[in-house]
Amino acid sequence: MPTFRAALAALVLSIPLALPATAQEGGNTEEVQRALAAGWKATFTCSGLFVAGQTLQELDQNELAGIYPDYVRDYDQLPPATVNQARKIVSVDYSPLMPPRMAAYRPGYGCTQLPIGATEKAIDFLPRFAAWPEFKGQDRGSAIGSNVKVELRLEEAQRLEMPVASAFDEMTYGSGTRTSSVVIVRDGQVVAERYARGVEHETPQRTWSVAKSISATIIGAARRQGLIDIDYPAVISAWNKGADPRREITIRNLLHMASGLDSGESGSRTDRLYFGGGRVVDQAAGNVLEAEPGSRFKYANNDTVIAMRALREAMADDALYHRFPYEAVLHKIGAVRTTLEIDWNGDFISSSQVWATGRDLARIGQLYLQDGMWGTERLLPEDWVEFVRTPAPAQPADALTQGAGYGAQFWLMNNVAGVPPGTFYAAGNRGQYIVIMPTLNTVVVRQGFDTIGGARFDIDRFVLDVSRAIQAADQDRASGDLDLRRAAEAENVR
């Protein structure tokens, strides 16, 4: 009898190169392409206005500028979005034969995009929280971590001034890059912070794929509470049927970006989910295997959202599931301005559609610096930090030479000379980053609106410059302490 692995390998080799259209992203008709462009405008306008609190003018220069090049032509032909301030609904007309594309805001859920062809009546079917807390206090304190002894950090402030300022000059770390926020935290305390482009310390931005690392954090909290087993196969019910080989995929495989599932040429383009109002269960969970689970690294949005779908099915309580990220992690660490958005079926699209302030992202990084502890409470399993930053069994093709390695929904900064060893980070489209440097007890957050397909912010060089500045600050402090001791000794001699 052949083993499962041998049989699966034979099956993969027999899969034709031309996959069914339902298993591929792309191949859009002109009508669908226009609908997707309108969906982009509707959802970003809705979230930008009602989640981030930005103005339409700010959105035009930030979230709505520098979009995917293949949408620009259709996007530029769209009329202005129609905004219903009272009901917090945004609609965008794109065809005289179809209803407009729509996105609707609800507290705690952010904006949810309706499927192509849906009318405003469909908004009544969207989930709502019975109550949602309002957080009115100013987020201005310098303490980001727990149990922080707040001290005057002049040495860090002085040394970090140059790299932080240079991050905003649109040249030093990439010509044309557009930084909106930088937050640097040392020993749980903000030591450098700056904003631009209408963004302030309480302005959430779309995290793009930094959301994947947030998803891993939520799954870690669920594992800590015994709600999910990352090694149990058949992660969703749709795969646990008959001869379906996808039942061998585990959550560990998904977190390692090693599901083996087909996700088209680019696993990071899931447009019909992000901009078409598609459901996770249709768009992410319907693809076939093209590699043995765990054997191949392929960066894929679908792996993340399926892992979160698995958590939903494991909890079997949607009200609990939708509250869980906030009650188990985010609100406990003070990240109260972070919002996870959902599809209209109630699944988190947390591979990208999470909105967070720079300070909230720093809090997530600080949670990892504190080994999953917050105050006296353990939020993540004792081995979780090591799990997410340990190289996965299957790595990106260039990870051993010049590229970044990959852990579990976190990247590894393991090929940048001069950066402290053990540095790992979350990364997202348009230049979103949380960089965690355990050896320096430092978190670096950079957010931006870099043009898609244009210049990329050089996070490697920025982190290198920041780490050197931090180390120089330590030397300055040590020299200052030495000078004070010498002065005291001289005074005693007299």
Enter the tokens of residue 459. 């996070």
> What percent of the chain shows pLDDT beyond 70?
92
Instruction: Name the residue type at position 135.
Output: F
* Statement: residue 183 has pLDDT above 60: yes
373-387, 398-412, 471-485: lowest mean pLDDT where?
Answer: 471-485
201-215, 292-306, 474-488: lowest mean pLDDT where?
Answer: 474-488
pLDDT in tens, 217-226: 999 999 999 9
CATH of the domain at 383: 3.40.710.10
442-448, strands of its sheet edge to edge: 189-195, 179-186, 442-448, 432-437, 424-428, 411-412, 405-406
d(CA 54, CA 59): 7
Contact, 445 vs 182, CB < 8 A? yes
Same domain, 381 and 436: yes
Same domain, 359 and 472: yes
Enter the tokens of residue 461. 């060089």
pLDDT in tens, 102-142: 999 999 999 999 999 999 999 999 999 999 998 888 899 99
pLDDT score recorded for residue 489: 52
Contact, 89 vs 123, CB < 8 A? yes
Contact, 437 vs 444, CB < 8 A? yes
Task: Give the residue numbers spanning the domain of 65.
Answer: 26-130
Confirm whether 123 is domain-assigned. yes
Same domain, 169 and 201: yes
19-33, 62-76, 450-464: lowest mean pLDDT where?
Answer: 19-33
Contact, 154 vs 125, CB < 8 A? no
pLDDT in tens, 345-362: 999 999 999 999 999 999
Number of domains in the chain: 2
What does DSSP assign to residue 226? T
Find the helix or strand (DSSP H, E) in which 311 lies: helix 301-315
Enter the tokens of residue 96. 């005289």
* Statement: residue 34 has pLDDT above 80: yes
pLDDT score recorded for residue 493: 52
Same domain, 126 and 178: no
Same domain, 406 and 469: yes
d(CA 261, CA 264): 9
pLDDT in tens, 385-427: 999 999 999 999 988 777 899 999 999 998 899 999 999 999 9
pTM, 2 dp: 0.92
d(CA 147, CA 442): 15
Same domain, 48 and 109: yes
